[in-house]
Amino acid sequence: MSKVLLGRKQWLFVFLAGLFITNAVTAELISNKLIEIPIKFNLFGGEFGPFVTIVGILPWPVVFLLTDLLNEFYGYKAVRKLSWITAILIAYCFLIVGLSIEIPAVNIPGSNLSDDIAYKKVFGQAQMVIVGSICAFLVSQLLDASLFSWIKSKTGDRYIWLRSTGSTLFSQLIDSCIVLYIGFVLPGSLSFVEFMRIAPTNYILKIIIAILLTPFIYLGHYLIRRYLID
C-alpha cells in the first residue's frame, strides 16, 4: 500500500482547521456565562459601554482570524466546507451534552462533582439559543468567506486589511442579529424593542474586536508565508 505524505501546506491546514473547530465549539459551550467588558466611549452623541456580553466572545476573535487566513491561503471552497463541518460538529457536541444532562448523576457524599443542578446550570442551554447559535455561525461564516473572496477578486493581493476587516464587519452584523432574534426574540425571552437596543451594542463591541485584530492578520500572513517558504 502506497503511503500518502502530507506536505507543509496540508499539515498547516490540518492544524488551522483543528484550531478553528476547537475555538468555535468552545465558544458555544461556554456561552452561558455573562461578563462585563469595561469599555466606555461616546459615539454620535450616544454613550456606549460598559458592554455586557457572553464569555463565549473570547474565542471568537481567533475564529475571525482563522477564517480570513484559511480563505487567503486555501480559498473560499475550503472555508465553506470547513464551516459546514464545524456547524455539524457543534450540533453533535450539543447532542452529547444534552444526553449527558438527562443521565442522572451518582450522589457521592462530600462531593460536588455529581451535582445535577449545577451541571445543568453550566451546560443546559435553551434549545432556541442553540439553534440560533448554529444558524448564526453558519450564515455569518459563509457570508464572511464569500465577501472576502469577492473583495480579493477586485483588489488582488493588496489591501489585506480591507478584505479581512470588511468581511468580518459585515458578517458579524448578520451574526449578531440572527443569534439574538432566533435565540431570544422568537421564544419571547426578549422583546423586539430590547433586541433593537442590545444588538447594536453587541455589534459595536465586535467592530472594536475586528479592528484590534488587524495587526494580528498581518502577523499571521507573515508567519504562514515564512513557514511555507522555508
pLDDT (tens digit per residue) in 187-202: 777 788 877 877 777 7
Residue 214 lies in a domain: yes
Q: How confident is the model at residue 174, as a pLDDT?
A: 85
- Residue range(s) defining the domain that contains residue 173: 8-229
More confident residue, 86 or 109: 86
Residues 6+ apart with CB under 8 A from 187: 126, 128
Using an 8 Å Cβ cutoff, are 162 and 62 in contact?
no
Is pLDDT of 126 > 70? no
Neighbours of 211 (CB within 10 A): 13
The number of distinct structural domains making up the chain is 1
The grid coordinates listed for 181 are 432574534
Q: How confident is the model at residue 113, as a pLDDT?
A: 61
Q: Grid cell 513557514 — which residue?
A: 227
Residue 2 lies in a domain: no
Using an 8 Å Cβ cutoff, are 142 and 92 in contact?
no
Of 22-31, 173-182, 215-224, least confident by mean pLDDT is: 173-182
Q: What is the CATH number of the domain that holds 156?
A: 1.10.1760
Q: How confident is the model at residue 66, as a pLDDT?
A: 92
Residue 120 lies in a domain: yes
Dist CA 162 CA 217 (whole Å): 11
Q: How confident is the model at residue 2, as a pLDDT?
A: 46
Residue 127 lies in a domain: yes
Mean pLDDT of the chain: 82
Is pLDDT of 47 > 80? no
The backbone region for 7, taken as left when phi is positive above 0, alpha when psi lies in -120 to 50, beta otherwise, is beta
Of 15-19, 70-74, 171-175, least confident by mean pLDDT is: 171-175
Q: How confident is the model at residue 155, as a pLDDT?
A: 84
Of 84-98, 104-118, 177-191, least confident by mean pLDDT is: 104-118
Is pLDDT of 116 > 70? yes
- Of the pLDDT bands very low, low, confident and very high (cuts 50, 70, 90), residue 1 is very low
Residues 6+ apart with CB under 8 A from 162: 151, 155
Confidence (pTM): 0.82
Residue 1 lies in a domain: no
Of 12-21, 118-127, 203-212, least confident by mean pLDDT is: 118-127
Is pLDDT of 4 > 70? no
Q: Taking residues 145-152, report their average pLDDT.
A: 88
Tell me the residue type at 119. Answer: Y
Residue 116 lies in a domain: yes
Residues 6+ apart with CB under 8 A from 127: none
Q: How confident is the model at residue 114, as a pLDDT?
A: 60
Q: How confident is the model at residue 125, as a pLDDT?
A: 67
Is pLDDT of 130 > 70? yes
Strand partners, 52: 36
Q: Taking residues 158-164, report their average pLDDT.
A: 84
Q: How confident is the model at residue 39, as a pLDDT?
A: 73
Tell me the pairing of strands 34-37 and 41-43. unpaired
